[in-house]
Chains A and B, each alone.
Chain A
């Protein structure tokens, strides 16, 4: 690791990591990016090619970083047949193209499915996190244990930026999601539980490990339904299975909701997606509870926003009103090492370890880094191991390079954050069938 990268990581010890002016960080980001490029280029063939094609050997400014940024799709650029036909060696060879390890120490003998492979990878210290987007193609992002530890460090010590919480396992904990598996959100849930959940009062909606195979099977079924090879019986069977699963989930949800409503006046932590927060609210209202009135110091995390959900326009207000929250509490995505937490003024604070880049819509040019700027969000994180830390997102954001009303000097991102795909849909509805997305956005602030 280079000297600038080490200095970046050491910023963790600052009294307030979110109170460092952007112009102070910039030279450090540039130097650290150069170090990361030098260190990773020989080991990541696609990075080397990109640098060569773009003619960039030296990173002299943040502008030089832009051509080196990867698209999100880079982590699912393998041919689908590798996975479908279980060509595990080829899949590892692909992984080696997009990340620094060569994975030669991963034994593929006897691997039956993608979950087996991921398990072997994790066992060997390659924490490959997954997410599946439209079409069910799995993206695989290789991370080191160090990367995972940094994420855990954030969860345990920096998530609540206004009133840091000691990780003392002090909350009645309600996790309306999975805690085992390779999804990044799963790791976040597990870390949060490890830090904050009372061992005697932890409730988890999905206790089974999230199986990628199940998602792959759904995608395969959709494909077969599309090309007409799925029989009506198979379709009926799949639908019945989904209905049974949903029924089971509903029961579990209802029993968790009961427990939550019983304990809600104590100090509770509620980790849930927007849809679940909504359902929980409806369930409470049915029982005549108009406001949650959570115990002092309670926390709600999660989110996901309205995306693809049939919610009224004022859903956020209704949720805020019911839970006594202020609205979104974090912005991030699974490729980032940390998330951006929201301050008391309701802005997302950019952490100092990665350069947040605001680009033009096409993602080709860095916009001026002063005042309030609107554009495509990207970032360059030189502290990542195994993977190149530069990535372009699909999000349209407004960034403020000035001071935040909360008093901090660091760069902030303002609400709302939208996806270019939604903005530019041009009347065409983009299908994205209920997949668990890597984005964790539009969460909730700590309650009073």
Chain B
């Protein structure tokens, strides 16, 4: 069987003793053999070898859960949520500890993210997802009558599909939401894990199996790792004979890589790589209290997963009514970037030396720029009169002074996901222009991270695209 390429095989490796075990789940069954060693980001992992044949669901049979009523799937997901909360089998704890060991995220962020995972399995949230993203839930269970104004009629069903999900690793919620949506769609789902989260998806699937190992939903999921872009794997299974859709979460390379396999019969559902910004009106900086409030909201929006998440605001466009107010905002923002939050830690990664070199230069031109904070990862704010040619990451914000927010709209584009605006009243005047520019989400500043369940994501309704719409026309 083709193995994962670039993985050392054969005799025990010196790093084996310290290797972090990775579990694969294949159609609900655990694979925990330590066949191969894999190195990434300075860590060594032990993984089971891949068997490509068992990673696909033959088209000779419908997906296992295709005819399970939605109500039953909801019950099962709710039970899974409760099991995740209790974690009596310890699957989540195991994954959490391995995540911490792997060090992609700070310990507190991993803990708090894992503690919140079960909330994604609450009944009302799941129903909101179905109702918001697909409309009438009945289309998931059967053929729903259809009629239009010109007298045509028939029946329509949201039929389960066969999906490969190329997961992103910048937040554990990505795995959880892919699983809940996948279960609600009733299709079959191969979850391709990212190197920065090799643990969350198998832990949830194992927990699901602990509720009912034979449940058709359990048999509808696999979660495995291979190196993204590995043609030995992707070239063989990314085919319309096996899958209908490729769901890619972010990562330009992943989406470009997936594109190679897209063609008739295999569709790309892309959560494109995005960045986010904030727009702050002069009304939000009119008093010391207002500045504090605004800075707190802005800091919340700038730090999800220490700014690794696409919703994290990197550039703040601030209406420069009063220069002192802007500088006071920058100072307060910097102080608040260093606070622990649900998905942020006090310290992010230290600023890279390359960026340090550039920021040092900016400090020297104090008429043009001003810098708050230093390089240890506690948060840094750079004020300028136009966006800098840097990519602010790891809790760095570029505050850009603008004459008016309307003028700042030109800095938003098709790669802009979320725009956090403050005060909220300014949204009305800006949202059409932002939408025209390509923006997908306008929120009241402070609300970037809490995507409302059932509303669109990256410009589309994911569940709606994760099924195949089939007609029975009279």
Residues of A within 8 A of B (CB): 45-46, 49, 70-71, 73-74, 77-81, 90, 93-94, 97, 137, 227-228, 426-429
Contacts and interface: CB of A to CB of B under 8 A. Distances in A.
A90 B365 CA distance: 8
Nearest to A229: B410
Interface string B351-388: 00110011011101100110000000000000010101
B40 interface: yes
B426 interface: no
Given A73-B354, A228-B438, A79 B413 contact: no
9 closest A-B pairs by beta carbon, nearest first, are: A428-B253, A80-B389, A427-B228, A73-B354, A77-B357, A427-B229, A77-B358, A77-B361, A74-B357
A78 B229 CA distance: 36
Interface in B385-408: 386, 388-389
B364 A228 contact: no
Contact of A46 (B253, B357, B413): B357
A94 B361 contact: yes
A79 B230 CA distance: 38
Contact of B388 (A79, A93, A137, A426): A79
Nearest to B6: A427
B256 interface: yes
Bin the interface of chain B by size.
20 to 34
A93 B20 CA distance: 50
B146 interface: no
A137 B362 CA distance: 17
Contact of B253 (A45, A90, A429): A429
A228 B361 contact: no
A227 to B, nearest CB: 5
A77 B40 contact: no
Nearest to B437: A228
A404 to B, nearest CB: 30
A429 B438 CA distance: 26
A79 B195 contact: no
Nearest to A90: B365
Contacts of B388: 79-80
A426 B195 contact: yes
A168 B86 CA distance: 84
A73 B253 CA distance: 24
Contact of A79 (B228, B229, B361): B361
A230 B210 CA distance: 55
B386 A81 contact: yes
Contacts of B368: 79, 90
Contact of A426 (B40, B357, B358): B40
Most buried by A among B369, B384, B389: B389
Nearest to B385: A81
Contacts of A137: 389
A429 B256 contact: yes
Contacts of B251: 428
Contacts of B227: 426-427
B409 to A, nearest CB: 12
Nearest to B40: A426
Contact of B361 (A97, A227, A426, A428): A97
25 contacts: A46-B361, A71-B354, A71-B357, A73-B353, A77-B354, A77-B357, A77-B360, A78-B361, A80-B389, A81-B386, A93-B364, A94-B364, A137-B389, A228-B413, A228-B438, A426-B40, A426-B41, A426-B195, A426-B227, A426-B228, A427-B228, A428-B251, A428-B252, A429-B229, A429-B253
Given A80-B389, A228-B414, A73 B40 contact: no
Given A45-B364, A94-B361, A427-B228, A227 B413 contact: yes
Contacts of B362: 79
Contacts of A45: 364
A117 B264 CA distance: 54
Interface in B252-281: 252-253, 256-257
A36 to B, nearest CB: 20
Interface in B290-325: none
B106 to A, nearest CB: 20
Contacts of A429: 229, 253, 256
A46 B228 contact: no
